[in-house]
Amino acid sequence: MKKLLSLGLVVGLLAVACSENKRKINESVVELGEDSLSADSGIPKVTFYQYEDSSSFPDAILELYTPLGNQVFRPGKVPFEFNIKNFPIMEQVSANPKLFLIFNGGDPVGFFSPIFQRELTEGTYRVVAYLVDEEGHALKSFGNYIDRDFMVGESRAFPYSAEPYLALHLPRNEEVLQVGDELIIDFLVLGGDMKLDGLKVHIKVNDLGYEIDHMAPVRVTNLPVGDYRINVKLVRSDGKELEGPFSTVSKTIYVR
């Protein structure tokens, strides 16, 4: 829990330092309900918003040499080998990793080196790998991220599906925010283009809703003390839900 709290503080401080000159867009002020303390006009209302696009490192390339597609490994240490191009901050000494992996829709795991091993038990895995910028947000240009399916032990491949799906970088499950901190919801869409394929993402923070039609970190301010269930769902523009197992991601966060 302390580790997650520290992560939230680091991301929050970086966000404040790096966002002072950016313009807010797509703001949406939402009501918590008549019985909420926020009904008092003296208390700031919960607001969803984004910053104008300022994509970092659009030319950065992340290549995955190992595992190969549907490669089979023995249970235990599974090797990973990446090649990273046009991303100079990867070589800088930093307390925070710039390469992250998500296994089967779980919380991201950061790595400081492009070559490493990961202890894995028997099962079928979909890994999403991506780079992050100085603020700790996932890079979202083509080539900044990659996905791969592989198997460990006596397991079978995922059924084929051409449907796009989600990977959620922020928040982490059971992350703790201090009152006044921004909640940042940072996601990637893989296997499709949100504009060309007519996709949008529905975000719910408990009963509070927001919608976005492109990849960008969504920020939520003025959340009162409480427990929150974050639900991020990828759907068609006509509202039709996708059938894939990774089209919806849910996390729990706490404001204390």
Average confidence score pLDDT of the chain: 90
Is-same-fold flag (2-54+164-255; 61-152)?
A: yes
How is domain 61-152 classified at the CATH fold level?
Answer: Immunoglobulin-like (2.60.40)
Q: Is the pLDDT of residue 19 over 70?
A: no
The domains of the chain are located at 2-54+164-255, 61-152
Which homologous superfamily does the CATH classification assign to the domain defined by 2-54+164-255?
Answer: Immunoglobulins (2.60.40.10)
Per-residue pLDDT tens digits for 129-165: 999 999 999 999 999 999 999 999 999 999 988 999 9
Residue 66's DSSP bridge partners are 81
Highest mean pLDDT among 6-15, 64-73, 156-165: 64-73
In angstroms, the CA 67 to CA 150 distance is: 7
CB neighbour list of residue 111: distance below 8 Å, 6 or more residues apart: 80, 97, 99, 100, 101
* Mean pLDDT score, 231-256: 94
Confidence category of residue 38, pLDDT binned at 50, 70, 90: very low
pLDDT at residue 20, as a whole number: 56
Q: What is the 3-state secondary structure (H, E, C) of 207-242?
A: CEEEEECCCCCEEEECCCCEEEEEEEEEEECCCCEC
Contact criterion met (CB below 8 Å) for 31 and 45: yes
pLDDT at residue 6, as a whole number: 44
pTM comes to 0.88
Per-residue pLDDT tens digits for 174-223: 999 999 999 999 999 999 999 999 999 999 999 999 999 999 999 999 99
Q: DSSP character for 56?
A: S
Q: DSSP character for 111?
A: E
